[in-house]
Amino acid sequence: MRQGAVRLELGVPGQIMPPAAAAVTFAQRAEADGFDAIWWPDHLMGWHPDSLWTADLTPLAASQANPHTYFDPLVMMGAVGAQTSRLRVGVVVTDLIRTTRSAARRSRWPRRSASTQRRDCGTW
C-alpha cells in the first residue's frame, strides 16, 4: 500500500560562540529561509590548548581571546525561541555528567514558555 508523501524536516546547527545577537539573527534568517529547527551541542567542546590559540595558527583567535567560550545551549534555546515564531529549538545532547538531572530540568523549564513548546532536548 502506498502512503502519502513524507515531509522531511531540515534543521541547522546553532551558532555556538559570541556574539549572541548574531546567533539570534542567524536563527531568524534560518527560519525565514524555511528551515524547521535549530540545534546546539551541549558537551565538552573546545579541547584547544591555550598555547595553540594564537592568531597565526587560528584566525578566530584574533577576535576571540579565549578558545573555551561557548554559549549555554539552553540559554540560546530561550533567546532564539523568544525571537522566532515557528523554528523548533533543540539541544543535540545534554550530558548529565557535568549537570545533574534536576539542574538540567530546572534550566529547561523557563524556555518552555519562551519557545511555546517548540523545544527538543536529548540527554545521555
6-32 per-position pLDDT tens digit: 888 899 999 988 888 999 999 999 999
Torsion sign over Cα 54, 59, 63, 69: negative
Paired with 40 in beta bridges are 91
**CA–CA gap between residue 25 and residue 90 (Å, rounded):** 17
58-88 per-position pLDDT tens digit: 888 888 888 778 888 888 888 999 999 999 9
Full-prediction pTM beyond 0.95? Answer: no
Query: Omega before 18 cis (within 30°)?
Result: no
